[in-house]
């Protein structure tokens, strides 16, 4: 038998939108406030200089938000958007003698301007949420996972690298000890929870901003919003 036909990637590139963007946006905003309140109440985080705090939060607000959405069991209902496909746009442009549109940026590259998430990008978020729910992650486990994500010593520009690295190690050790105590016999659980973290790393923060915040606040400058929220008494 010949090689199996390769699946067409077009389906994962279809543009999709949330069925109730205002409802999902409000839920995400509430979770973001709750998440930043959680972060600010971590004593070790408060001891860091404000510049370091902001650097950490800017880099990890999206994975922290997604962990919060999983914890709060926020379900995403999506619909296909009416945005024309790349093929339709090329054909229409040619019909009118215009220059065909440039292809969308590849995964992982920054998105400039409005960007409707693709079906594949939303599926990655839904897959992450489903993975968390299938593992029935406890409140304490979520807290340790958030600590692991928050205290990322690999960020360029950090001054307190060793201190932050120690905090991340402590979060991982606390998670491991908690699992040994509560989930005796489930030796694979620690590895499964670290798979959750690796799924998070594959989700683009720009996609999260566009999906949840553009529908309710328009053009999103997450840096400004986070700075305001971090300096406010949440």
Return per-residue pLDDT of the chain as tens, 234 residues: 444 445 554 555 566 677 777 888 889 999 999 999 999 999 999 999 989 999 999 999 999 999 999 999 998 887 776 555 556 667 766 666 666 555 544 444 444 445 677 888 888 999 999 999 999 999 999 999 999 999 999 999 999 999 999 999 999 999 999 999 999 888 899 999 999 999 999 999 989 998 888 777 776 678 777 888 877 754
Give domain status of residue 109, yes or no: no
CA dist 14 → 3, 85, 90, 103, 229 (Å):
26, 7, 15, 13, 34
Does residue 7 lie within any of the structural domains? Answer: no
Residue 102 falls inside a structural domain: no
- Predicted local distance difference test score (pLDDT) of residue 194: 92
- Let me know: does 77 contact 87? Beta carbons within 8 Å: no
Q: What is the CATH number of the domain that holds 63?
A: 1.10.565.10
Residue written as tokens 């991982």? 172
Range of the domain at 45: 14-96+116-232
Residue 108: inside a domain? no
Helix (H, G, I), strand (E, B) or coil at 186: coil
Query: Looking at the domain assignment, is residue 54 inside a domain?
Result: yes
SS3 content of the chain, % helix, strand, coil (to 5): 60, 5, 35
In a domain, 211, yes or no: yes
CA dihedral 71, 139, 201, 187 (to 10 degrees): -130
Q: How many domains does the chain have?
A: 1
Does 52 map to a domain? yes
Asked if residue 133 lies in contact with residue 196, where contact means CB atoms within 8 angstroms, the answer is: no
The CA-based angle 155-207-144, given to 5 degrees, is: 50
CA atoms within 13 A on the CB side of 14: 12
């Amino acid at each position: 038998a010949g090689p199996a036909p390769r699946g067409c990637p077009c389906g994962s590139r279809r543009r999709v939108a949330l069925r109730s963007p205002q409802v999902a946006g409000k839920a995400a905003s509430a979770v973001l406030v709750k998440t930043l309140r959680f972060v600010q109440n971590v004593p070790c985080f408060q001891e860091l200089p404000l510049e370091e705090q902001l650097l950490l939060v800017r880099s990890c607000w999206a994975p922290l938000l997604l962990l919060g959405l999983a914890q709060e069991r926020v379900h995403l209902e999506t619909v296909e958007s009416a945005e024309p496909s790349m093929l339709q746009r090329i054909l229409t442009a040619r019909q009118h003698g215009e220059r065909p549109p440039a292809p969308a940026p590849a995964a992982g590259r920054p998105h400039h301007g409005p960007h409707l998430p693709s079906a594949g990008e939303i599926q990655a978020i839904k897959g992450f949420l489903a993975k968390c729910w299938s593992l029935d992650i406890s409140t304490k486990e979520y807290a340790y996972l958030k600590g692991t994500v928050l205290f990322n010593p690999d960020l360029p520009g950090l001054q307190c690298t060793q201190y932050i690295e120690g905090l991340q190690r402590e979060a991982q050790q606390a998670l491991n000890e908690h699992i040994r105590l509560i989930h005796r016999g489930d030796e694979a659980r620690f590895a499964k929870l670290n798979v959750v973290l690796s799924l998070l790393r594959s989700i683009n923060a720009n996609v999260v901003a566009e999906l949840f915040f553009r529908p309710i606040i328009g053009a999103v400058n997450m840096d400004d919003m986070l700075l305001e929220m971090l300096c406010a008494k949440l």
